[in-house]
Amino acid sequence: MNAEVLQHLAEKVGTPFWIGDAALLRQRIAAIKLLTEGVGLQARYAMKACPATRILKEMLEAGIWIDAVSGNEVLRAKRAGFPGSSILYTSDVFRDGAIAILREHGVMPNLGSPGMLRELQTAGYAGPISLRVNPGFGHGHVNACDTGGPSSKHGIWFSDIGDVAIRAERFGMSVTMLHAHIGSGPKFPELLDNMRRLAKEFAEFIPRFPKLTAVSLGGGIPYNYRNANDQPSLEPLRTVLEDARASFCSAAERDVRLEIEPGRYLVAPVMTLVARVTDVKRTETNERGKGETFVMVDAGFTDLVRPAMYGSFHRITIAGRHERDGMADVVVAGPLCETGDVFTRDGQELLVPRRLPTPRVGDLLLLHDAGAYGYAMSSNYNSMGRAPQLMLEEDGSVTMFSRRETVDDLLATEADEKIS
């Protein structure tokens, strides 16, 4: 999208704002559909990555099922049109009336903690369940994204699965699915190795579950944030999935469905955060450290928290600016009353200046590849309203699928109500 179009959109809706690419979204969906085509393979969308109804309806139309991690995510998926039978509820803790929601809509729970069995039994649930296994290993793009291993809170430790299954049967619940997720965004060869290892361990578990109908190997397909043009081919993963399903069917001596649940892969490159440059200022080197050039923009970690939380890298461009305009090493920082409100930093909380075409006040700065855990993790800190989300449609038109929040939105839940 060229600079003139972006400036026009900025004049219409203000900054910051999100802009998505519908054609790219459909390309990503098509790649996952191709990966899982054929009998016995099914993709779910880990909707926590980007739960907007606009995105969910694309998944629904493509026949991709849903992995939800809260009762409200279940309700969002239902309102987008998904039947309860196509939604899996994956959690380590029930809250916000989740059990009642699952029972009302026929959604199967995927239990990540043994104590959840007792809560289901107390609530009168006696249906099928899935068990999320912590297999003891896993790898994420940062430690905070490891979803398997001794340091991970997720799942039931693999040696406890048999006892949990016995308790489930005693409570009138049948284990019909096993699930694991072993990392978010490792390097592709590591993902393949981990999935092969996971598939082997699941094949050993399966004979102990006579009512099992499905196994999920989770998500974690990586996305190269540093080079959008250098993405791995999914073909080797297809082979891993086919081999895994064959081993599961052999171990069970019946047909077993194999599932995966990508989130990041489907939406990471789809959305871009557009911010306005409000100032360019400098500090000087002294005994405390090196001076920097700060590019101040009107988007902050309320909009995109990943750099502040993980030191995550997002490509940055300046609309309409090129190398011929001159280059500068700059730190890109936001409006929040937090020193850590910086987009160009690493996992050790150190500033990492980015070499960019020299920005000027009024320029539009683009933070790319922010579709996964961008708007989804945004907040109202400092009473900031969340930015609007726009979508560039394939016919060249642009639609807004969520508006900018106002102070009335922020105050809508405040109350003065006696409860006892």
pLDDT reported for residue 185: 59
Q: Which domains does the chain show, CATH number per domain?
A: 3-16+269-404 (2.40.37.10), 21-262 (3.20.20.10)
pLDDT reported for residue 350: 84
Using one digit for the tens of pLDDT, what is the confidence trace for 47-99? 999 999 999 999 999 999 999 999 999 999 999 999 999 999 999 999 999 99
* 352-356, Cβ contacts within 8 angstroms, sequence gap of 24 or more: 353/292, 353/293, 353/329, 354/316, 354/329, 354/330, 355/327, 355/328, 355/329, 355/330, 356/295, 356/316, 356/317, 356/318, 356/321, 356/327, 356/328, 356/330
Reply yes or no on whether 337 is catalytic: yes
* Rounded Cα distance, 305 and 292, in Å: 22
Residue spans of the chain under pLDDT 70: 138-152, 184-186
Task: Please name the residue ranges forming H helices in 331-396.
Answer: none
Residue that is written with structure tokens 């690493």 in the block: 346
In the set 50, 145, 249, 337, the catalytic residue is: 337
What residues have CB less than 8 Å from 376, skipping those under 6 apart? 48, 49, 50, 51
Residue 6 near residue 275 (C-beta atoms within 8 A):
no
What residues have CB less than 8 Å from 92, skipping those under 6 apart? 112, 113, 116, 132, 153, 154, 155
Side chain identity, residue 401: F
Using one digit for the tens of pLDDT, what is the confidence trace for 342-382? 999 987 878 999 999 999 999 999 999 999 999 999 999 99
Side chain identity, residue 99: I
Residue 364 near residue 7 (C-beta atoms within 8 A):
yes
pLDDT reported for residue 141: 47
CB neighbours of residue 225 within 10 Å: 20
Residue 285 near residue 19 (C-beta atoms within 8 A):
no
366, two tokens:
């683009």
Residue 67 near residue 45 (C-beta atoms within 8 A):
yes
pLDDT reported for residue 150: 64
